[in-house]
Amino acid sequence: MDYAERIKEFITALGADLVGVTDFEALKELQTIPDNLLDSFSRALSIGVSLPVSVFEMISDRPTPLYASVYQTANRLLDDIALKASKRLQQDGYPSLPVPASQIVDRENLLGAISHKAVARLAGIGWQGKNLLIINPRYGSRIRLVTVLTTAPLKTDDPVRNRCGGCTLCRDSCPAGAIKGISTEDHYSSRDEALHFQRCADKLTGEFANLPGVGYPICGICIKVCPYGRKLTPAAPD
Ligand code: B12
């Protein structure tokens, strides 16, 4: 087993469902905060945790307190996994940095330190769907993501092709009418290419975050309707 496989096994044992690796050649045009975030590293690990389908099936036209709770727990799990993975890589001789799952570092422009979706797409976790989210063939968009930057010379993974096809379920169900329904083979040049971004941001930050028991700018509807991973296949009996 090579080093990348051992690290992936370690991360999976911590509770991750998906792990992929990309190098910085692919990421060099990505904006980060601060600008030099990537300077000391050479690879990024993208780590995904899947969320229960049932949590989304209980959402009709707005996020529920139950989803808000699962959202927080998943963020804590991801941050915990990323910290432990960084410590393990460091113990093996490779300086590494966990980037928080859901920290907004520029509140005015709604930006994190690095786009976890860009890292995930390049690391083969999924494609960038019409809802601007990363869609994994097995779980759909029901995944949350975190990134670990590292100097470890890990073997990289290949991106997967976009499989949205002619589907427009996310566009048709968006409560803010924000999704334009445009597809991309690799990634959008800006958020506005895929979304009427302000409509989405206003709905989540101005309305949904103020719902009783919710308290976060979340929604979940474009995640719920994605057909990938929505119908589970029961495991065969022993
Ligand atoms: C701020 C924020 C928000 C803001 C702004 C959203 C936004 N799209 O930027 C608000 C509050 C509105 C929001 C809403 C939501 N969010 Co949010 N959000 C974030 C946060 C913290 C930062 C996002 C950011 O910096 N965006 C900057 C823009 C430029 O980047 P981007 O959104 O990824 O889109 C660009 C890149 O992906 C780029 N790209 C892709 N590949 C490549 C490759 C290269 C080389 C380059 C140059 C670019 C590139 O193409 C896109 C257009 O430029 C991230 C966590 C993180 N650090 O990534 C979570 C995150 C994006 N949110 C997430 C989710 C799930 C949501 C919601 C569904 C809410 C919910 N939980 O129910 C909605 C969905 C909105 C939508 N359809 O996009 C998840 C996405 C998971 C997934 N499966 O994709 C993330 C990753 C959190 C997590 N830890 O999992 N969010």
For the stretch 119-147, pLDDT in tens is 999 999 999 999 999 999 999 999 999 99
- 231 belongs to a structural domain: no
- 235 belongs to a structural domain: no
- 120 belongs to a structural domain: yes
Query: Mean of the pLDDT values across residues 46-71?
Result: 98
What is the per-residue pLDDT for 55?
Answer: 98
Asked if 217 contacts 71 with a C-beta cutoff of 8 angstroms, the reply is no
- Over its C-alpha atoms, the chain yields an Rg (Å, rounded) of 18
Query: Mean of the pLDDT values across residues 89-100?
Result: 98
Omega cis (within 30) before 34: yes
- 94 belongs to a structural domain: yes
What is the per-residue pLDDT for 230?
Answer: 96
Q: 111 phi and psi, to 5 degrees?
A: -125, 140
Label residue 237 by pLDDT band (50, 70, 90).
confident
Asked if 134 contacts 126 with a C-beta cutoff of 8 angstroms, the reply is yes
- 232 belongs to a structural domain: no
- 175 belongs to a structural domain: yes
For the stretch 183-208, pLDDT in tens is 999 999 999 999 999 999 999 999 99
Q: How far is the CA of 182 from the centre of ligand 1 (A)?
A: 17
What is the per-residue pLDDT for 138?
Answer: 97
User: CA 176, CA 173: separation in Å to the nearest integer?
Assistant: 9
Q: Which residues pair with 96 in a beta bridge?
A: 150
Ligand 1 pocket at CB < 6 A? 27, 29-30, 71, 101-102, 104, 110-112, 115-118, 121-122, 128, 131-134, 141, 143-146, 187-188, 190-191, 200-201, 204-205, 217-220, 222-223
Total count of domains within the chain: 1
User: CA 15, CA 118: separation in Å to the nearest integer?
Assistant: 22
Which residue range is the domain that position 186 belongs to? 3-224
Mean pLDDT score of the chain: 96
Q: 40 phi and psi, to 5 degrees?
A: -90, 5
User: CA 15, CA 9: separation in Å to the nearest integer?
Assistant: 10
Q: Which atom of ligand 1 is nearest to the CA of 71?
A: 71
Q: How far is the CA of 135 from the centre of ligand 1 (A)?
A: 12
Helical (H) or strand (E) element with 46 = strand 43-50
User: CA 87, CA 103: separation in Å to the nearest integer?
Assistant: 20
Q: How far is the CA of 236 from the centre of ligand 1 (A)?
A: 36
What is the per-residue pLDDT for 39?
Answer: 93
Token pair recorded at residue 71: 């959202």
What is the per-residue pLDDT for 28?
Answer: 84
- 236 belongs to a structural domain: no
- 220 belongs to a structural domain: yes
Residue to mutate (ligand 1; options 102, 188, 196; most atoms within 8 A of CB): 102
